[in-house]
Structure 1
């Protein structure tokens, strides 16, 4: 049976962040993920998880100044020290929250940085993060993101992610496979998931176009989700979509699938 986690950066956004844990539990979720926990006291988040019997499934490494347009700093050769400090901060939060999986957003290639320098920096940073996280019992994942939503983002396809993982040379780096992003960038979803399943540690979903809940677009989730289940996928699936008409109103797809 597949396990679905509520992405609190996208779902229940009509509520304050800490209230979203309550709403996720009331909606039947048993796991949560979100972009970042770092603006909140880690003990307060831990209390919300415990009160609602929720599992902390995933969050991202610190990714720079998000409100200023940063979408990760792992490919910026001028911010390696900042990246390493971020790894330490993520470990600190993850240990308290019981989180065993952290995503590294590659980021947008900075102006004046070549693709080769960005690639080299990414490898250096991932090797560092993989080693530090493994020592803490935490899995590192990397996510390919479409260039329509985030122009200039460095990591864009499953094949590129697998190539990067091979070059890093660590057993502690896996793919976070986002169905929405990969539908835009490469399509061919079911065979791609099947062919890469051994290196996929986390999946996220949304439909396309619109990035709304399953059933609102072109992706055949009635086929795809049972297919993923039949493949034997054991990880979580994060529901990272923008509800078309409110989170609770748009959960019929999940209720139908879990019945």
Structure 2
């Protein structure tokens, strides 16, 4: 072989080898990127079942909720919640349900909402408002089957200022009894949530919620104890959790002030988590709050905050 041809062939072979090597390297990088989202758990699970929501890890996993769920799994989370699940397209609901089943993750709450949660509605006792609520309950039972959900949030709306408080309470009890009749055969638990967003809301205290649960008298009507809202409305968190324990089926988290992750405010979450875990609670701890810091760094800091608070 002539020297010129030998050099040319050698250079061609070298270029091909480099190109092939680059291709393999690119594939490795792509596989590594995919691995961070879909691999078996990279981190150990938490002692309690903390459940993030859509958007909480969008900077780390992208905007696709399915990719975010895979990322959550890799970080040790074993539950999710999604307030707006009822409004997602059926096809998307089914994909989420299938992924949760594949990963062995638990679906937390979605909201039973026929469009009247943030107005004067069930407290009035009017049939038109009951009908809206009961239709939403029926739709929620069908959704729960698709995503294997066990809990769904309910709120009774605003005060009706022209009706005595006892009568309003009776009206809410009547509506929730009817809702429980729909949900109970399907194993769906309505969890009523006392809130602090506005003083116009009828349901604001854990004791008030406890009384309504006892009056409805159904395993499908319980309390969602949102620690952020209850810190704002009544404080005295652990004693009030203890008093209401038999009627609490679900917890949500958020520090105060600011409604961000544990450690960002005044609530001593490590003590609260220790108490709840010590009572043998096996349900969801919904992470219904924002991130204290932006970007990927803020998301990693949020995970660390949960690791710290979970180390009781």
Query: Which position in structure 2 is the counterpart of 1:177?
Result: 225
The equivalent of 1:109 in structure 2 is 159
Query: Residues 136 and 187 from structure 1, CA distance in 2 versus in 1: closer, same or farther, beyond 3 angstroms?
Result: same
Segments of 5+ residues of structure 2 without an aligned counterpart are: 1-46
Cross-structure match for 1:125: 175
Rg comparison, structure with higher value: 2
What is aligned with 2:262?
214
Bigger mean CA offset, 221-230 vs 244-253: 244-253
Q: Tell me the matched-pair count.
A: 253
CA–CA distance in structure 2, aligned partners of residues 35 and 239 of structure 1 = 11
Deviating 4+ runs (over 6 angstroms): none
Distance 2:99 2:176 in 1: 34
CA distance in 2 between partners of 1:28 and 1:82 (Å) = 39
| CA RMSD after TM alignment | 2.4
- What are the Cα deviations for residues 210-236 of structure 1, in whole angstroms up to 9, with x where unaligned? 111100111111211112111222221
Higher relative contact order (CA 8 A, sep 6+): 1
Q: Contact (CA 8 Å) 2:98, 2:147: kept in 1 or not? A: no
Q: Distance in 2 between matches of 1:100 and 1:18?
A: 20
TM norm structure 1: 0.87
Distance 1:16 1:109, change over 3 A: farther
Give secondary structure in 1 for the equivalent of 2:69. helix
- Structure 1 residue 62 corresponds to structure 2 residue 113: yes
- Is this contact kept in 2: 1:145–1:156, CA < 8 A? yes
What TM-score does the superposition give when structure 2 sets the normalisation length? Answer: 0.73
Provide closer, same or farther for how the CA distance between residues 72 and 221 of structure 1 changes in structure 2, counting only shifts above 3 A.
farther
- Match of residue 134, structure 2, among 79, 84, 106: 84
SS at match of 2:218: coil
Q: Which has the higher helix share?
A: 2
Work out the CA distance in 2 between the residues paired with 1:182 and 1:43: 36
Q: Is the 1:197–1:233 Cα contact (8 Å) retained in structure 2?
A: no
Summarize the Cα distance change of 1:80–1:134 in structure 2 as closer, same or farther, 3 Å threshold: same
Residues 116/237 of structure 1: CA separation in 2 closer, same or farther (3 Å cut): same
User: What does residue 227 of structure 1 align with?
Assistant: 275
Deviations 1:56-105 (A, max 9, x none): 12111114167xxx268443534111111111110110011100111211
Classify the secondary structure of the residue corresponding to 1:193.
Answer: helix
Distance 1:18 1:124, change over 3 A: farther
Change (3 A) 1:72 1:201: farther
Distance 1:231 1:101 in 2: 20
Residue 11 of structure 1 pairs with residue 63 of structure 2: no
